[in-house]
């Protein structure tokens, strides 16, 4: 399964093993455009660029890696391990390409399921991934607390793209 991550305008909803992130204020899906390697939350529909392969368990406290374009593009990285831009341009996964899952709300238990709200904390442990300006600007990992722009929802989609 592939997940699409988004940030809806209503209270958020969740991610799982593969996800597309949707960004909250704009109800837009997160996208990583291969030619630019930048991630932004400004898409209205799910396609290959809006789908991420999740490596790891989407459970609070667990670390995961995200590969853009259903796993066919680079690993998503928080530059400097947190505090800067979020790009999808790494050939291998290491510390900057590792995020800790933080379940924010939703179903009982620590596992993030479809419809649950979650955040991604960077490797440095001090920053969270943020859809800057509600998705109007590229993703960054420079927030020290979870708020509306740092809360994501997962939409599970079948792997439909090569």
What are 90-131's pLDDT values in tens digits?
Answer: 999 999 999 999 999 777 778 887 778 899 999 999 999 998
Can you tell me the mean pLDDT for 66-91?
86
User: What pLDDT does residue 142 have?
Assistant: 95
The model's pTM is 0.79
Looking at per-residue confidence, does 7 or 130 come out higher? Answer: 130
Burial class of residue 19 (count of CB atoms within 10 Å of its CB; 0-12, 13-18, 19+): buried
Distance set, CA 52 to CA 1, 125, 126 (Å): 10, 22, 24
Greatest mean pLDDT among 23-27, 45-49, 89-93 lies in: 89-93
Residue 155 CA, chain-centre distance (Å), reads 11
What is the token pair recorded at 141?
């990992």
User: What pLDDT does residue 135 have?
Assistant: 75
pLDDT band at 160 (very low <50, low <70, confident <90, very high): low
Report the percent of the chain where pLDDT is more than 90.
33
pLDDT band at 16 (very low <50, low <70, confident <90, very high): very low
What is the rounded CA–CA span in Å between residue 103 and residue 47? 25
């Amino acid at each position: 399964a592939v997940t699409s991550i988004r940030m809806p305008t209503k209270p958020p909803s969740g991610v799982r093993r593969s996800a597309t992130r949707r960004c909250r204020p704009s109800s837009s899906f997160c996208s990583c455009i291969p030619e630019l390697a930048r991630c932004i939350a400004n898409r209205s529909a799910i396609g290959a660029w809006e789908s991420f392969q999740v490596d790891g368990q989407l459970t609070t406290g667990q670390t995961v890696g995200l590969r853009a374009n259903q796993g066919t593009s680079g690993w998503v990285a928080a530059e400097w391990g947190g505090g800067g831009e979020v790009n999808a341009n790494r050939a291998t996964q290491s510390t900057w390409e590792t995020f800790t899952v933080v379940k924010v709300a939703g179903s009982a238990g620590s596992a993030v399921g479809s419809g649950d709200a979650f955040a991604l904390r960077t490797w440095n442990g001090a920053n969270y991934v943020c859809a800057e300006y509600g998705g109007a600007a590229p993703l960054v990992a420079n927030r020290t607390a979870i708020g509306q722009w740092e809360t994501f929802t997962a939409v599970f989609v079948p792997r439909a793209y090569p």
